[in-house]
């Protein structure tokens, strides 16, 4: 029981490793608690329980802001919303639970071998969580290692799952090393110094180089409260407000956030879009904004539309949010409990090209899509800039906003491209290819972030091979673990 409580509390403490707190060493220490207790277990079910407790603590502390969307804005009764979040976090906890069970079952031998096994299992579990049922990779452990963490340099090579694996490796070494013995302790410290030193060095490598002329951009934060956004009597105010913000902040590229116009484009007043884009087009620039589009078949898309000096172009969101933007099979009853506007959307095509805006090629991703690094690198090497349009007003004043900005920082490092963010309520920001946040607007304030942005070309190692390196490591480590078990024979350790 003591181990389960410790794992639960350690999982909950892991949220402090992420933004807005940024105590990145806590990720190693938190996971070391799980690895240490699992190493003392003799039964796989004990390891499963420990991993489940750690995961439940981590996700209840880290993503409970989903409750705000269900209860405050979705209208789900408080007990049902709380129960739904508990069930969802319990589902997410199954992935570290599987790590705990397999580690107990397979983890034999020297500390470094067991640490490699723990690391590979962790990578595999997070990759599976990011894929199964369309995936939910939020709070993947690697996200906690944005600068100033010395492990941040590995993002451009291994991606977020590989960096999470390094965190898991260090955590297992910390847990398994007999610290009173000089040689094992020295070896563990040396391994940590080498890993951190190499990461620091990789962080100084410029994998990509400037391309084209810099753009003057205005990233607009509209700050429309989610509970008011869909009220018909306020529609004229929102349309006028968007047009006024565009007029007040002219630039080469002006960006309005996701679904900034809360209705279908074909239902907008006649001439409104031309009026919206006119100030930007007059100075030879382009406007990009979020809006719902409907095709000839009646399918609805959460989209970005560009208007201005360049030919008009569109991008339709490819990776939709289950239960928020579409209903998974057999879950139609869910929408009898909540009220979510525009919740029957269609996926965009997976091979949409970047938008050609002047000399730059801008790859759009909408809100939740930037969680999926392996999907964003499809736009490379053509794209010179990355642009995220988001609306996190659904989650109120919570950890969701700083956590999402941290995710954008990782995507910038993985791709070697600046990441521009235009959001409704925050956090609107400019992130450089090295993960630095150049500027960010205060949350829940209306305004515009004005900046000069340079496009980049070239490929990082991660952009070339994606998650292949992490997958190869998982396969190799599991093969070694399986070989050792076979070598031990029926009478060996199990």
Looking at the structure, tell me whether residues 100 and 131 fall in a common domain.
Answer: yes
317 is catalytic: yes
258 is catalytic: yes
Banded model confidence at residue 491, pLDDT cuts 50, 70, 90: very low
Query: What is the pLDDT at residue 494?
Result: 31
* Domain coverage including residue 76: 2-205+466-488
Q: Distances from the Cα of 167 to the Cαs of 35, 72, 161, 398, in angstroms?
A: 12, 36, 10, 26
- Any domain includes 397: yes
Residue-wise over 138-156: b if at least 16 C-beta within 10 A, else e?
Answer: bbbbbbbbbbebbbbbbbb
User: Whole-model pTM?
Assistant: 0.94
- Any domain includes 76: yes
Query: What is the pLDDT at residue 27?
Result: 98
Give the CATH number, domain containing residue 333. Answer: 3.60.110.10
Looking at the structure, tell me whether residues 243 and 258 fall in a common domain.
Answer: yes
pLDDT tens readout for residues 342-371: 778 899 998 899 999 999 999 999 999 999
- Any domain includes 248: yes
The domain total for the chain is 2
- Any domain includes 320: yes
Residue-wise over 412-438: b if at least 16 C-beta within 10 A, else e?
Answer: bbbbbbbbbbbbbbbbbbbbbbbbebe
Looking at the structure, tell me whether residues 184 and 36 fall in a common domain.
Answer: yes
Looking at the structure, tell me whether residues 149 and 228 fall in a common domain.
Answer: no
Looking at the structure, tell me whether residues 309 and 180 fall in a common domain.
Answer: no
- Any domain includes 493: no
The torsion region of residue 107 among left (phi > 0), alpha (psi -120 to 50) and beta comes to: beta
Q: Annotated catalytic residue: which of 258, 325, 369, 414?
A: 258
Tally of CB atoms within 10 A around 13: 18
487 is catalytic: no
Looking at the structure, tell me whether residues 201 and 266 fall in a common domain.
Answer: no
pLDDT tens readout for residues 418-443: 999 999 999 999 999 999 999 999 99
Burial of residue 322 (number of CB atoms within 10 Å: 0-12, 13-18, 19+):
middle
Strands (DSSP E) found in 286-411: 286-294, 300-308, 313-316, 355-357, 360-366, 385-390
pLDDT tens readout for residues 155-213: 999 999 999 999 999 999 999 999 999 999 999 999 999 999 999 999 999 999 999 99
Looking at the structure, tell me whether residues 49 and 184 fall in a common domain.
Answer: yes
Looking at the structure, tell me whether residues 257 and 338 fall in a common domain.
Answer: yes
Q: Annotated catalytic residue: which of 89, 325, 367, 369?
A: 367
Q: Annotated catalytic residue: which of 89, 126, 229, 317?
A: 317
Looking at the structure, tell me whether residues 480 and 418 fall in a common domain.
Answer: no
Percent of the chain with pLDDT over 70: 95
- Any domain includes 441: yes
- Any domain includes 494: no
Looking at the structure, tell me whether residues 189 and 220 fall in a common domain.
Answer: no
Looking at the structure, tell me whether residues 88 and 75 fall in a common domain.
Answer: yes
- Look at residue 437 and give its three-state secondary structure: strand
Looking at the structure, tell me whether residues 235 and 329 fall in a common domain.
Answer: yes
- Any domain includes 471: yes
């Amino acid at each position: 029981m003591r181990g389960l409580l410790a794992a639960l509390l350690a999982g909950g403490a892991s949220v402090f490793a992420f933004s807005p707190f940024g105590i990145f060493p806590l990720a190693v220490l938190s996971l070391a608690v799980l690895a240490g207790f699992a190493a003392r277990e003799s039964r796989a079910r004990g390891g499963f329980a420990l991993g489940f407790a750690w995961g439940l603590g981590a996700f209840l502390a880290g993503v409970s802001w989903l409750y705000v969307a269900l209860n405050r804005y979705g209208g789900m009764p408080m007990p049902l919303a709380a129960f739904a979040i508990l069930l969802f976090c319990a589902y997410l906890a199954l992935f570290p639970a599987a790590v705990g069970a397999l580690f107990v079952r397979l983890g034999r031998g020297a500390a470094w071998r067991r640490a490699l096994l723990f690391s590979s299992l962790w990578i595999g579990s997070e990759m599976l969580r990011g894929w199964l049922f369309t995936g939910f990779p939020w709070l993947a452990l690697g996200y906690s290692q944005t600068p100033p963490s010395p492990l941040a340099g590995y993002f451009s090579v291994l991606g977020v799952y590989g960096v999470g694996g390094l965190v898991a490796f260090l955590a297992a070494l910390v847990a398994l090393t007999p610290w009173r013995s000089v040689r094992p302790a020295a070896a563990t410290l040396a391994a940590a110094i080498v890993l951190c030193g190499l990461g620091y060095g990789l962080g100084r490598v410029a994998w990509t180089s400037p391309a084209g002329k810099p753009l003057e951009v205005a990233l607009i934060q509209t700050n429309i409260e989610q509970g008011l956004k869909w009220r018909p009597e306020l529609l004229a105010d929102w349309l006028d407000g968007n047009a006024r913000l565009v007029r007040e902040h002219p630039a080469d590229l002006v960006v309005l956030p996701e679904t900034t116009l809360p209705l279908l484009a074909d239902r907008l007043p006649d001439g409104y879009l031309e009026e919206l884009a006119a100030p930007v087009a007059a100075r030879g620039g382009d406007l990009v904004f979020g809006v719902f589009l409907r095709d000839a078949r009646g399918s609805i898309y959460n989209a970005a539309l560009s208007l201005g000096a360049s030919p008009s172009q569109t991008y339709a969101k490819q990776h939709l949010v289950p239960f928020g933007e579409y209903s998974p099979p057999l879950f139609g009853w869910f929408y009898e409990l909540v009220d979510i506007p525009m919740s029957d959307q269609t996926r965009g095509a997976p091979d949409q090209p970047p938008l050609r805006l002047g000399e730059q090629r801008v790859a759009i991703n909408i809100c939740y899509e930037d969680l999926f690094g392996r999907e964003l690198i499809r736009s490379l090497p053509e794209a010179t800039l990355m642009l995220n349009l988001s609306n996190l007003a659904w989650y109120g004043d919570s950890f969701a906003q700083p956590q999402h900005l941290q995710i954008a920082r990782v995507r910038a490092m993985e791709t070697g491209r600046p990441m521009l963010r235009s959001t409704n309520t925050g956090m609107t920001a400019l992130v450089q290819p090295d993960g630095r946040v150049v500027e960010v607007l205060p949350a829940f304030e209306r305004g515009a972030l004005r900046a000069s942005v340079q496009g980049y070309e070239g490929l990082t190692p991660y952009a070339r091979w994606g998650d292949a390196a992490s997958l190869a490591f998982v396969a190799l480590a599991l093969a070694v673990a399986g070989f050792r078990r076979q070598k031990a024979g029926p009478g060996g350790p199990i």
